[in-house]
Homo-oligomer: A and B are copies of this chain.
Amino acid sequence: MSAAPGGRASSAPLLGRDAEPTVFELSVTGRSAAQLRTTGVPATPLERLLDASYLRREPVALPEVSERDLVGHFTRLSHRQFSVDLGMYPLGSCTMKYNPKAFDEIAAMPGIADVHPATPAPLTQGWLAMLCELERELCAVTGMHAATLQPAAGAAGELTGLLLMRAFHAANGETRTKVLIPDSAHGTNPASVTLGGYEVVTIPSDARGLVDVDALRAALDRDVAGIMLTNPNTLGLFEEEIDRIAAAVHEVGGLLYYDGANLNAILGIVRPGDMGFDIVHLNLHKTFATPHGGGGPGAGPVAVSERLAEFLPGPAPCRTADNRFEWRMPPRSIGRVHSWHGNALVLARAHAYLRVHGRDGLERVAERAVLNANWLRVRLHDSYPAAFDRPCMHEVVLTAAELKRTTGVRALDVAKRLLEEGFHAPTVYFPLVVDEALMVEPTETESPQTLAALADALERIARGAREDPDAAHEAPRSTPVRRLDEARAARRLVATEDDRDPVDRG
């Protein structure tokens, strides 16, 4: 269980090309990197401070490595990792835009980053002021009245929103049971609905890729607590009949929830509040360029219309009459949804992004994002037609169905070939309603030259599929590893170093 005696060499082959041992395999008993401050505090033996019954006999079997090997290991791992900083990441629904470096430094300022979350409010007026400004900005962008900054990601925002819905109906003395979701929705939506204590009712898309309004109407009754939509939807299409949808849902007393994952498309163009939405979550790690960190952290603030504001989570930062700031609990708050105040440093970055862009810049963001997506859509029309042949917003869902039919090369193969070409792959097989979906979101920070290079690569792949389909099935070959045996991973679960077969160890 502990480190292999002797350990492996730290120096692994060059520039990310070869497998890297795990840090445990680099471990040698007795080696160490840690250096702690000299404190002068009396070093009373622990056994004199705590009863032995509490104490472990052996230290935790963590790796034992030198600082040099620690650096080598994680630097080499970083060379086995694609990132926005290395190249285009047209991952649909994820809005992988450029993350400005200036905000890394802002989020690391000692006066920002080294503040304890339980510091009394009089000593954190700067933080409270910033959070109040951010709340106002998010309301301005969404057309809402108030917001909570606590949810740590989009899904947490969804669940918060659903609990707000529940609290609202409960306050009206109603117990509603169902929430409507289009069939193109992201998986977090139905999962959140369940956790919110509601039943999911799926609404089909129509031939245009939009919510089937008739089917929607048919599903509406007074058991419906609300509907969750994103607009543009996950097909990258604007729900043109949003006003009719809103009216219909409101008519039965339901609420409209806006999944903000696609907000990038409409910044400064149209606001969810003006479309009739009551609750909106934002993914700051998409729309406002906070870095994704390989899977997180994010931030998923929830903004609401006036009638829902009293239910928001708290405590919330508030400006007092004398221009000071304090924490207040909204009168009928659903309560806390985070250990502290939300992912504060992510919020700080988003505020910085909003300040740099301002009203004019945000609108340019939406315009360029939509321009880029449409350019790709038209350019790729012959090789990868859009699933729905109409102008798209910030992303476009292409289909490789025809390619598959004629060559056997699937969306997955196209994705893997694209990795070889130096691009991250689009999102594949989502939304579920599209066959062989390739969901491409270029974002506004990619240049026309990069778009053209992506299109060239995709077309090269399509041509190649006709000439030599096997090559596509074999792809990728130039990546740090090739296609994985995913079935084996699930069948013989090795989720820690200790699960490994003895033969595979060391």
Whether A10 contacts B69 in the complex (CB less than 8 A), given A16-B15, A28-B449, A79-B79, comes out as no
Chain B residue at smallest Cβ distance from A480 = B15
Chain B residue at smallest Cβ distance from A83 = B75
Q: Tell me, rounded to whole Å, the shortest Cβ–Cβ distance linking A174 to chain B.
A: 49
- CB under 8 Å from chain B, chain A span 287-346: none
Task: State which of A85-93, A185-193, A382-390, A393-401 sits at the interface with chain B.
Answer: A85-93
Task: State which of A120-128, A164-172, A418-426, A489-497 sits at the interface with chain B.
Answer: A418-426
Asked whether, in the complex, the Cβ of B449 is within 8 Å of the Cβ of A68, the reply is: no
Measured CA separation A422–B26 after assembly (Å): 16
Q: Tell me, rounded to whole Å, the shortest Cβ–Cβ distance linking A334 to chain B.
A: 40
Measured CA separation A424–B478 after assembly (Å): 22
Q: Which residues of B contact A177 (CB under 8 A)?
A: none
Whether A79 contacts B68 in the complex (CB less than 8 A), given A422-B11, A422-B13, comes out as no
Which of B14, B87, B356 is close to A14, meaning CB atoms less than 8 Å apart?
B87
Which of B8, B11, B28, B100 is close to A88, meaning CB atoms less than 8 Å apart?
B11
Task: State which of A153-161, A219-227, A256-264, A450-458 sits at the interface with chain B.
Answer: A450-458
- CB under 8 Å from chain B, chain A span 95-133: 98, 100-101
* Oligomer: number of copies: 2
Asked whether, in the complex, the Cβ of B9 is within 8 Å of the Cβ of A452, the reply is: yes
Chain A contributes a number of interface residues (CB within 8 A of B) equal to 53
Q: Which interface residue of A13, A68, A101 has the most chain B CB atoms within 10 A?
A: A68
One digit per residue, 1 when the CB lies within 8 angstroms of any chain B CB and 0 when it does not, for chain A 467-500 equals: 0000000000011100000000000000000000
Which of B8, B13, B71, B450 is close to A85, meaning CB atoms less than 8 Å apart?
B71
Q: Which residues of B contact A26 (CB under 8 A)?
A: 449
Any B CB within 8 A of the CB of A375: no
Asked whether, in the complex, the Cβ of B421 is within 8 Å of the Cβ of A13, the reply is: yes
One digit per residue, 1 when the CB lies within 8 angstroms of any chain B CB and 0 when it does not, for chain A 419-450 equals: 11111000000000000000000000111011
Any B CB within 8 A of the CB of A66: yes
- CB under 8 Å from chain B, chain A span 15-44: 15-18, 26, 28, 31, 35
Q: A8-B453, A9-B450, A35-B356 are in contact. List 16 more A-B contacts (CB 8 A).
A: A7-B449, A10-B88, A10-B447, A12-B422, A13-B87, A14-B419, A14-B479, A15-B15, A15-B79, A17-B478, A31-B447, A66-B447, A67-B101, A68-B445, A71-B85, A79-B79
Nearest 5 pairs of A and B residues by beta carbon:
A13-B422, A9-B453, A68-B98, A11-B88, A11-B87
A-B CB contact pairs (8 Å), 7 listed: A8-B449, A13-B478, A15-B82, A15-B479, A67-B100, A75-B86, A79-B79
